[in-house]
Chain A
């Protein structure tokens, strides 16, 4: 650990695009540890919330502050997109890229690259072009590429949305080991089963606002808002 970027605090965050409010106002504190699941139906603002926290989405008002200045905080974050973005390079070059960006010397790169390739089961595919991998392999590679700089906090936007059971399980195993290694995880999903399996904290978004926020078992067992209750029971929120 170089510097602690957490806790992060979001105050009065509001994202408006074309006169439509996508998110907020949201007040939120991300503590130093935990596996937070961001739940909610489509269009609830899950992606917008993650992107706003990560700094990819410009806030119309409000702010996000980290324990250290922004420039330092950015280096300790990573983000995995819903549909993995592959650089048009080999698997090895995709894993190498984040290290190269921060100036890790060439000789010290191969260690982590081989290590992560082994973890995601792509050791034999290191020299294959990444855009030709299967969907599950791409997402695992994207996850490894996000984790290779050893971020303090990892954002994931429905990483398993288009994957089958086996790939989903492999990703969950990777996420749990990252969590145990001390990575703070914030993940959006609308898969309740996955949320129950992984979450330590739950954040329920509906219509751009936080409707429920708390420790996982309590929230699942005794939802305090009607919306979250409906969502858990499988009802349709409109």
Chain B
């Protein structure tokens, strides 16, 4: 119990004193995860919606694979991205390994299936409701996807936030491809792993509380900005 208390105190002092390292790590965490989230959303939201309205032969298989990819082990993703980006790998020439860009790539791969799958679930219901009308109004496939995305934005927000939760708390992949290098690729989760293995529980806990606060803060901020739970259900 005293450890947790010490952690809280440590977290408090780290925040109050505006510890330079802490600020840097936190900002990098946000930068990596939010960038990954934006890219993943740009892929997954239209893709999940498209999957909901499009009938094709291997649709069931595609959805099953997508759902399975939701549980993709981050460590394995990290390993594969590592091998692709390493000097001897196919993309080695870009020199991306152990940079924030590599971490973003890994997180995009982890988060995209999750967002796409939740999007698909939500959009399937909305499509069932809109189907006849949109066909009757002679919409193009592009217009259909766009209409569903706009009118189903609340559900998509949930999908995006779930993606953010997975990205910001993820450690396995970014540890491998980022390397947890101080002042270069160290983020909150990798720092916590490091401090724990060093035995500095107070600092690790402090960082942990900041991570939780960050996740809460972003969620509340997005909900406030998009005014969910205010204008009724639609």
Contacts and interface: CB of A to CB of B under 8 A. Distances in A.
Interface in B180-234: 231-232, 234
Interface in A56-82: 56, 74-75, 77-79, 81
A85 B138 contact: no
Interface stretch (B26-34, B127-135, B159-167): B127-135
Contacts of A75: 138
Interface residues of A, number: 18
A97 interface: yes
Interface string A26-64: 000000000000000000000000000010100000000
A56 B136 contact: yes
A119 interface: no
B232 A79 contact: no
Given A88-B234, A89-B151, A101-B143, A81 B137 contact: no
20 contacts: A54-B136, A56-B132, A56-B136, A74-B138, A77-B136, A78-B136, A79-B132, A79-B136, A81-B132, A85-B132, A85-B133, A87-B147, A97-B147, A101-B137, A101-B138, A101-B139, A129-B231, A129-B234, A131-B234, A132-B234
A236 B234 CA distance: 42
Interface in B102-157: 129-130, 132-133, 135-139, 143, 147, 151
Contacts of A132: 232, 234
B135 A87 contact: no
Interface of B: 129-130, 132-133, 135-139, 143, 147, 151, 231-232, 234
Contacts, number: 38
Contacts of B147: 87, 97
Which of the listed residues B129, B133, B232 has the most CB atoms from chain A within 10 Å of its own CB?
B133
A85 B129 contact: yes
A101 B133 CA distance: 13
Given A56-B132, A56-B135, A87-B130, 6 more contacts: A78-B136, A85-B133, A87-B147, A88-B234, A101-B138, A132-B232
Nearest to A132: B232
A112 interface: no
A8 to B, nearest CB: 16
